[in-house]
A and B are shown apart, each in its own frame.
Chain A
Amino acid sequence: MYETSDIRNGLKVEVDGKPWTITYFQFVKPGKGCAFTRTKMKNLINGSTLERTFKTGEKLEPAQVEEFSMQYLYEDGEFFHFMNTEDYSQVAIPVEAVGDTKNFLVEQMEVQVLFYKGNPVNIDLPNFVELQIAYCEPGVRGNTAQGATKTAEMSTGLTVNVPLFIENEEWLKIDTRTGEYVERVRK
């Protein structure tokens, strides 16, 4: 069990029968009252948020979660297949459960997969990934006008806005948190 003094950003706890990660906490203590820790937390499965105040002395149950480094292997239309990089065991995650994360998955990529009570519930991507353009309009040489963009469709299906000078089939560095273009990558 955790104490209120263990509360930190990123601590994973079980509240109301669901797993959460702490995203905000603040110590509060009214002058003549007992101490509390105010928290905000994010549901590890569906991303919903919860605010909860814990009184000092209350115990928090650790969430029954485990995280493993896994390599993305392939998808077969129904499942995305991953391999544990330590014990080489494989896990198949349904397409629906992968959700928009599939926009950033390229084969051989290493990701962190979160398991709750033995089931995969979340895939944690690196902050930046390198993806190849599947299609965009030909590049306009010498056009470095600030802010002018066109759309490019990546091999994963993700659509991003890119500068006009970008060529078809180029590799791009993409920020997975925003889905935005960062820079060109020479391959």
Chain B
Amino acid sequence: MNAEGLRARSRVLRAVRGWFDDHGYYEVPTPVLVPSPALEENLFAVEAGGGWLRTSPEFALKKVLAAGLPRIYEIAPCLRAREDGPWHAREFLMLEWYRAGAELDDLMDEVEQLVAVACLAVARPCPERWRRVTVAELFAEVLGIDLTTAGIDDLVPGETSWDHAFFRRWVDDIEPTLTGAVFVSDWPASQAALARVRTDRAWPTACRFEAYLEGVELANAFLELTDPVEQRRRFVAAGDARRDAGELPHPIDEALIDAVGRMPRTAGIALGLDRLVAAVSGAASIHPYRVAAVAGPTS
């Protein structure tokens, strides 16, 4: 934490709220204490008060969408256990927004505008152009690997699962090459989480993109799944994967499954606000821009 960092974050927060005001979004604060946290293999929630502290406001905001608000956002303090590092903190600010009727390209346009607004707020140069590229294109370009046909051994011989092999190559070889401003889309279908999957091509992909700014993963967007049967199937599968890994399988949030079936076709996105401030400021860590919370061993 330092005074200049906190001033920068305050300016970005004000600018971001102004942008959402100007674009017809309602700000909707939702509960921090929730009955069920994210049900993903690699997210770890903090237990508290008979429930969990949210890892993101996604479930609550989808209930708001189903209740009839088509353009919403929240600047949400979120908590994720076991995440400490220069770009991670167990408690952090997440900016999430949802826009009914929008496509992923629309959200990319909005990210470009929000990043420009944030750059302006801290008087830093704005990215000149954003590259839009698919995950498979990056693997072909950087590694010469055809991801659409690659098996575990083509990625990392002996790795325990395809996703782990994928992420090892991603972390080791792909992510370090991502300079400038980049949208990376069409992720493997196994990493869809709450996104739709497109199956009209030979290699099924998640309707999902991530925004990177100077190598920092800034945001993750979904064309949201609105099929409650499929959503339940994925939660059960994620719960099984957690159990196999020796982790607690969180309960399924039935009100969310119901909301998924009633919400309109929507694109939604979660953006790390501390990361946004740090990345547009050209910093090497989020920590100067936030007040220290419970510190992990490596933060």
- Give A residues with C-beta under 8 Å from B: 5, 25-36, 38, 53, 55-56
Contacts and interface: CB of A to CB of B under 8 A. Distances in A.
Contacts of A38: 171
Interface string B150-175: 00000000000001101110111001
B62 interface: no
25 contacts: A5-B297, A27-B85, A27-B86, A29-B85, A30-B170, A31-B217, A31-B220, A32-B40, A32-B42, A32-B187, A32-B220, A33-B42, A33-B166, A33-B167, A33-B171, A33-B191, A34-B167, A35-B42, A35-B83, A36-B167, A36-B171, A53-B168, A53-B172, A55-B164, A56-B82
B86 A55 contact: no
Contacts of B41: 34
Contacts of A56: 82
Interface of B: 40-42, 82-88, 163-164, 166-168, 170-172, 175, 187, 191, 193, 210, 217, 220, 297-298
Given A31-B220, A32-B40, A33-B191, A26 B86 contact: yes
A120 B165 CA distance: 39
B164 A32 contact: no
B187 A53 contact: no
A53 B169 CA distance: 10
- Looking at chain B's contact residues, is the secondary structure mostly helix, strand, loop, or mixed? mixed
A35 B82 contact: yes
Q: Which of A25, A28, A32, A35 is most buried by chain B, counting CB atoms within 10 A of its CB?
A: A32
Nearest to B210: A31
Nearest to A28: B171
A29 B86 contact: no
Contact of B298 (A27, A29, A36): A27
B23 to A, nearest CB: 24
Nearest to B41: A34
Nearest to A56: B82
Contact of A26 (B40, B85, B187, B297): B85
B175 A30 contact: yes
Q: Which 9 A-B pairs have the closest CB atoms?
A: A27-B85, A33-B167, A32-B191, A31-B220, A34-B42, A36-B171, A53-B172, A28-B171, A30-B167
A36 B193 contact: no
A25 B298 contact: yes
A131 B87 CA distance: 45
A27 B187 contact: no
A80 B84 CA distance: 45
A53 to B, nearest CB: 5
A35 B43 CA distance: 10
B171 A53 contact: yes
A56 B168 CA distance: 11
Contact of B164 (A5, A29, A34): A34
A31 B167 CA distance: 10
Nearest to A36: B171
Contacts of B87: 28
A53 B168 CA distance: 8
B42 to A, nearest CB: 5
A36 B168 contact: yes
Contacts of B297: 5
A55 B171 CA distance: 10
A56 B86 CA distance: 17
Contacts of A55: 164, 168
B196 to A, nearest CB: 15
A84 B88 CA distance: 44
A27 B175 CA distance: 14
Nearest to A34: B42
Given A27-B88, A32-B193, 11 more contacts: A5-B298, A25-B298, A26-B86, A28-B175, A29-B42, A32-B40, A33-B163, A33-B171, A34-B41, A35-B83, A55-B168
B247 to A, nearest CB: 11
